[in-house]
Structure 1
Amino acid sequence: MKIAFVFPGQASQYVGMGKELRRDYPEAAEIFKQADEALGFSLSTLCFEGPEEELNLTANTQPAVLTTSLACLEVLKSVGGPVPFALAGHSLGEYSALVAAGSLEFADAVRLVRKRGQYMQEAVPLGEGGMAAVMGLASAAVVEVCQKASEPGVVIEAVNLNCPGQVVVAGNTAGLEAVEPLLKEAGARRVVPLPVSAPFHSSLMVPAGERLAVDLEQVVIKDPEIPVVANVSADLVLTGAEVKDSLIRQVYSPVRWEETILKLLELGSEAFVEVGPGKVLSGLVKKISREVLISNVEDKATLEKVLALTREVS
């Protein structure tokens, strides 16, 4: 059976994530130790004990979710879990996928996403931009409404094309205010403001992408050893140069998640395992295809379920 691994992004974090695996598996403990050393502070304590407000700061969330995801992956490997034929990650989760593919070293990735979070936060002053989830309206319609609402000084864009009927928009405060009535008029069931502090993946993030490009020049990025489908293209990145380019553009470009999953299905994926905290991606995959098996690994209970599932279908 061809199994794809997918790695979660921001909004999957919670206090206590990874704690059980760190306690019971030396492989997970080693990943958290490496993260603490790479960053120069106890990220592991933040993951296991909080406080939640600090964990939810973008510059902390990004390395925390990456580290927990890679700890889950190492445990899965150590117990003889399934081997993926392809990988993808949602936004920051793409870094987890690239570490899993051998394209990025873990210590480099954890430092990069810490900086990525800082740059994204600093690109737009706090309170001057945000994001909202649009429910019940097709992606093309959301894109069209955003274009209609945009004008000089009003920025609003469709930035997470997650699954049928769920698109996230981002922009400045004027853009968010202008687009909501237009989306409802076009038939959106709900427009829900998201608890994030910046308009991620919008063109307002171009300065963050430019700053990240400088840091990406300082790290070694290898050709992926396992196929990775990138967010920006919903296609395979085959070389280190393609990976670098996609990571820069990803900061200020839409996450084409529905198309990413469709690409993995086209490549032959029969099952998906979400590796890392939460089940956000599992829910999105279910809405994209009801034909595939979906499971997740974030603790011992879910680990056992994945092992049982793969034994069952192998």
Structure 2
Amino acid sequence: MEKVALVFPGQGAQYVGMAKDLYENNDTAKKVIDCACHVLNMDLKSIMFEGDSEELSKTENTQPAILTHSIALLQAINEEIDLKYDACLGLSLGEYSALVAAEGINFEDAVSLVKRRGRFMQEAVPVGKGSMAAILGLDRDKLKEVIENINDGIIEVANYNSPGQIVISGESKKIDEAMLKLKDSGAKKAIKLNVSGPFHSSMLNEAGIKLSKELDKIKLSKPKVPLVSNVSAKYYEDEYKDLLVSQVSSSVLWEDSIENLLDEGYKSFIEIGPGKTLKAFIKKIASNKGIDINIYNIDDLTSLEEFIQTYKNGGLGC
């Protein structure tokens, strides 16, 4: 049987209307979404289904919304089939969805935690002081050389997403300066991201300190399925609280994580949650290594039902 990895999206994958069809047509997904609303004591589903994009894009709303969408799908899948998977990982916030999937934390604790995580991240840096940008078409060594020569300010690599796509984070004026210099150095594009802060940079250290105190209040168990850390691109050890704390202000090693799984023989990847961003990243990483893989994306009711039918019919090498 082929090795299968579950992957979960992070912030930026949200959209107004997310999970609405699941809520209206799948009892298991509805229970998960209602549970999130109860735990958070807020009408999260209205923000997800019909709120305006600005409200949904507030970090403290985005994070529980994406986690809830992902776990609603996962629980709906598990209600219908005995889904077997050999590893879990998620991009940034998605690491918490992966942690739930690996049974390292229960959903109720996770959705409460990411709500606070989002608030801490939002509060760490005044609006407008920090920003992020996606740099396309430049290799990582050249990019690091350029940003390391930018003086008198904070600018760091936030995400290594896929070959030729790297995200930088830091002080807004330094991000603007870096975008110009990186294009001069051969980048095909430099795109300012519509985010509310300089995530995955040292400017978020204070958020990590606050998150650490919250993690002390929550039961974290050894994952029952191997789980890959964004910080190290390696599997979690028994004690992993520090990885979750440092993840807030460290580079996300997504490309490295997927490469490591490919090297271990993983052939099937299942993206569970809003959007299709991870599917695109993984295809590019695998293609760059000359490896053929299967990638499934489960976002809404239609793709959920199609995947379940594929699995029942012997898909994924079952």
TM range (shorter): over 0.9
The SS at the match of 2:149 is: helix
Residue 51 of structure 1 corresponds to which residue in structure 2? 52
Residue 227 of structure 1 corresponds to which residue in structure 2? 226
The SS at the match of 1:289 is: helix
Q: Name the amino acid aligned to 2:24.
A: R
Deviation at 1:103, TM superposition (A): 0.5
Residue 207 of structure 1 corresponds to which residue in structure 2? 206
| Moved >2 Å (runs of 4+) | 304-314
Residue 169 of structure 1 corresponds to which residue in structure 2? 168
Residue 21 of structure 2 corresponds to which residue in structure 1? 20
CA distance in 2, matches of 1:300, 1:31: 15
- Taking structure 1 as the reference length, the TM-score comes to 0.96
Q: Name the amino acid aligned to 1:6.
A: V
Deviation at 1:81, TM superposition (A): 5.6
Alignment of 1:287-306 (within 5 A): 287-290=284-287, 291-306=292-307
1:260 paired to 2:283: no
Deviation at 1:192, TM superposition (A): 0.3
Task: Name the stretch that deviates more: 15-24 or 275-284.
Answer: 15-24
CA distance in 2, matches of 1:78, 1:113: 25
Residue 103 of structure 1 corresponds to which residue in structure 2? 104
- In 2, are the aligned partners of 1:70 and 1:96 still within 8 Å (CA)? yes
1:286 equivalent among 283, 286, 296? 283
Residue 82 of structure 1 corresponds to which residue in structure 2? 83
Gaps of 5+ in 2: none
- In 2, are the aligned partners of 1:133 and 1:191 still within 8 Å (CA)? yes
Encode CA deviations 1:29-72: one digit per residue, 9 max, x unaligned.
Answer: 11111101111101112111112210111110000000000001
Encode CA deviations 1:171-190: one digit per residue, 9 max, x unaligned.
Answer: 10221122122201211011
- In 1, are the aligned partners of 2:133 and 2:179 still within 8 Å (CA)? no
Gaps of 5+ in 1: none
Encode CA deviations 1:211-234: one digit per residue, 9 max, x unaligned.
Answer: 111101110100000000010000
- Taking structure 2 as the reference length, the TM-score comes to 0.95
CA distance in 2, matches of 1:201, 1:140: 19
Alignment of 1:112-191 (within 5 A): 112-149=113-150, 151-152=151-152, 154-191=153-190
Residue 248 of structure 1 corresponds to which residue in structure 2? 245
The SS at the match of 1:273 is: strand
Residue 11 of structure 2 corresponds to which residue in structure 1? 10
* Structure 1 vs Structure 2 CA RMSD: 1.2
Q: Residues 31 and 119 (structure 1 numbering): CA distance in 2 closer, same or farther, change over 3 Å?
A: same
CA distance in 2, matches of 1:36, 1:55: 14
- In 2, are the aligned partners of 1:5 and 1:273 still within 8 Å (CA)? yes
Q: Name the amino acid aligned to 1:11.
A: G
- In 2, are the aligned partners of 1:102 and 1:222 still within 8 Å (CA)? yes
- In 1, are the aligned partners of 2:132 and 2:167 still within 8 Å (CA)? yes
Q: Percentage identity across aligned positions?
A: 42
- In 1, are the aligned partners of 2:9 and 2:278 still within 8 Å (CA)? yes
* Residue correspondences, number: 310
CA distance in 1, matches of 2:294, 2:117: 33
